[in-house]
Amino acid sequence: MSETYPHIFTPLDLGFTTLKNRIIMGSMHTGLEDNSGNFSRLTQYFRERAENDVALIVTGGFAPNFAAWVKPFSGRVTNRTHVQRHTQFTNAVHEAGGKIALQILHAGRYGYHPFAVAPSAIKSPISPFRPWALSDRGVRNQIKHFVRCATLAREAGYDGVEIMGSEGYLINQFLVKRTNKRQDDWGGSLENRMRFAIEIVKQTRAAVGPDFILIYRLSLIDLVPDGQSWEEIVTLANRLEEAGVTIINSGIGWHEARIPTIATSVPRRAFTWLTKKLKQEITVPLVASNRINMPEVAENVLEDGSADLISMARPFLADPAFVRKAKANKREDINTCIACNQACLDHVFEQKIASCLVNPRACHETEIQINPAATIKRIAVVGAGPAGISCSTTLAERGHDVHLFEKDALIGGQLNMAKKIPGKEEFSEMLRYFTQRIKTTGVQLHLNTVVDAASLKQQDFDEIIIATGVVPRVPAIAGLDHPKVLSYIDVLRHEKPVGGKVAIIGAGGIGFDVAEYISEEPPSSTLDLESWLEEWGIADPEDFRSGLYKPQPKQLDSPREIYMMQRKSEKMGKGLGKTTGWIHRTTLKKRGVHMLRGVRYEEISDRGIRIRQGDGVEGSKWLDVDHVILCSGQLSLNDLTPDLTTDHYTPHVIGGAWKAGELDAKFAIDQGTRLALTL
């Protein structure tokens, strides 16, 4: 047993089988589930996590029939052919000493296709398709299909199934009057609304027998108007126990909720107060989830009695060896999920295969293989931002002799600014991991070292990689040399004082970051659960049905009056992440930030900034601000390539130095890692 994390590494006896520790890899849709041509990739993805001691893996959601699809042609388990295909997952996980459960997911009205069904024909706000209301026979058929799916899962060698009863999917839709307007046996009274969930569990248990893990994912807080009350949730949990569940997993919020539940600005373990509350009401093991991303957080949740098991999904994209490293007391070596959603959920929403910003190998294990180099080379990497670090550490891992040069006293480049933004504190973990990885891979790091082409040539490197990043773009506006003008670097890196009235030029990722930085007084609410819950209007569902205060959303204080501007007329923050952009927009609106689109910048002077938003005299106006902060994008910084290029040699250029428009950590890390595999 681990001395550092004794609770994590205490096995859990389920009566007919034992979980070797308390960590479940939670269900995470990767996109690999939807095409059996990708199943060998999915097998390798599962295998690596099982080999590294995850006790129980839950697959991404599989539909029990085609009406249940999340989108057309989603993965489903409905016949023997599917059983055969799935045995590769179960065999791989069992060979690696793990256990695996199939998640059965019925999207109901969230189905992004014309065959979607639901208790009532009420369209969800997040799908353009109005679902078909199920007939009584249709409801009974859906139950049969859940049961068939579980039976087939057992045939495929799964150790259990997880019935997805939360996040606003079909079963949740039956449970509340918001989406269930039926007047037959499946609607109206609580007893009737719960019947669908209970029948699924009861009939599944009868079909699969007693020695099969049956997890039910229960919504502990719906976070949508007219969701469940706490009393209803507890009643359902008790009835599910009677019906035969082995484990209750926790779900937080419906997908249509306008409250963040897993984004990086959500405090760690933000919802375990709810599992702690439910634990007193049930006897079967209970799983905590959402924003648990480090072993000490998991250990604390178990230690303080908030749950019996911990489910983590994205942390296993970030680091397949999370559990093994925790067991070996090497938490510093863990590549931490920073909850950015940029390569996992955002990819899935864009119909791409999931990956991970901090680990480009995630879901690409068969393609990105880090093997020893055939010929050991001496390699220089210039610039220790995300691109330079990922490249140099992968090169060193392959056995190369790598020298990483950084002009600053710190590694990390722009990440050092990102970590200061309220709600982005997790970026510190990325820097911690990078620092550790440089050490463990043996990269020779030269901080405070400016290199030029001549010095690089003198050192006779076999390869030179330029990862020198970007410089801020300076827009052409009259009065730009006025002392009121600051760059985002002045504000974020040099922490120059900022006045009470501020105009921000540019509303890209950095414009939003700066607006959040200057509109929130420290400490960040991400580090203070009570104020974060209050900020988003989240209440105890025992006091307020669904866990929502009224009215929503709550306006927040800001120490400044802020104007954020862009020249385009499109929605502000359109380029931000699909699953997180709305959170940034909502936060800034709540802080009263004025968002001005279609702006022309005319002049900066003692009066502030003169802008134009229309024709004629009336279209032009002064904003009497104390400071104007430039967040107008970036340009590549690379003055080394010309002098290093010869007839026989061209240096490699990566990250922002290669393409400033593509500058983001996801792209930089992926590009740096992939280049390292080719040298």
Give catalytic residues, as residue numbers. Answer: 169
CB of 385 to ligand NAP, least distance (A): 12
Contacting residue, 243, 257, 270, 318, with ligand SF4 by CB under 6 A: 318
Residues 351 and 332: beta-carbon distance below 8 Å:
no
**Degrees to nearest 5, angle at CA 213 with 75 and 348:** 30
CB of 178 to ligand NAP, least distance (A): 32
Residue 163 Cα to chain centre, angstroms: 22
Contacting residue, 70, 326, 510, 583, with ligand NAP by CB under 6 A: 510
476 Cβ contact partners less than 8 Å away, ≥ 6 residues apart: none
Contacting residue, 54, 259, 288, 357, with ligand SF4 by CB under 6 A: 357
Residue 571 as a binder of ligand NAP (CB under 6 A): the answer is: no
Token pair belonging to 195:
């019947």
Give the three-class secondary structure for 1: coil
Paired with 215 in beta bridges are: 162, 247
Token pair belonging to 337:
């999920």
Residues 57-86 that bind ligand NAP (CB under 6 A): none
Pick between residue 336 and residue 546 the one whose CB is nearest to ligand SF4: 336
Q: Which range binds ligand NAP by CB under 6 A, 295-303, 511-519, 529-537, 546-554?
A: 511-519
Contacting residue, 8, 237, 356, 467, with ligand SF4 by CB under 6 A: 356
Residues 468-487 that bind ligand NAP (CB under 6 A): 473, 475
CA 371 to CA 477: how far, in whole Å? 51
Residue 511 as a binder of ligand NAP (CB under 6 A): the answer is: yes
Give which of 283, 285, 148 is closest to 204, Cα–Cα: 148
Residue 341 as a binder of ligand SF4 (CB under 6 A): the answer is: yes
The dihedral through the CA atoms of 18, 23, 26, 32 has a sign that is negative
Residue 651 as a binder of ligand NAP (CB under 6 A): the answer is: no
Residue 470 as a binder of ligand SF4 (CB under 6 A): the answer is: no
Residue 93 as a binder of ligand SF4 (CB under 6 A): the answer is: no
Site track for ligand NAP across 189-228, x = CB under 6 A: ----------------------------------------
Q: Which range binds ligand NAP by CB under 6 A, 160-168, 478-486, 504-512, 527-535?
A: 504-512
Q: Which range binds ligand SF4 by CB under 6 A, 58-66, 354-362, 446-454, 653-661?
A: 354-362
Residue 632 as a binder of ligand NAP (CB under 6 A): the answer is: yes
Residue 630 as a binder of ligand SF4 (CB under 6 A): the answer is: no
CA 212 to CA 209: how far, in whole Å? 6
Paired with 27 in beta bridges are: none
Strands 56-62 and 463-466: unpaired
Q: How far, in Å, are 127, 419, 668 from residue 416 at the CA level?
A: 38, 6, 15
Residue 214 parent element (H or E): strand 213-221
CA 152 to CA 134: how far, in whole Å? 24
Residue 526 as a binder of ligand SF4 (CB under 6 A): the answer is: no
Residue 381 Cα to chain centre, angstroms: 30
Q: What is the DSSP code (8-state) at residue 232?
A: H
- Considering CB distances under 5 to 8 angstroms, the limit depending on partner class, which of ligand NAP, ligand SF4, none binds residue 633? ligand NAP
Question: What are the residues binding ligand SF4 (CB under 6 A)?
Answer: 314, 317-318, 337-344, 356-358
Question: What are the residues binding ligand NAP (CB under 6 A)?
Answer: 473, 475, 505-513, 566-568, 575-577, 631-634, 663-664
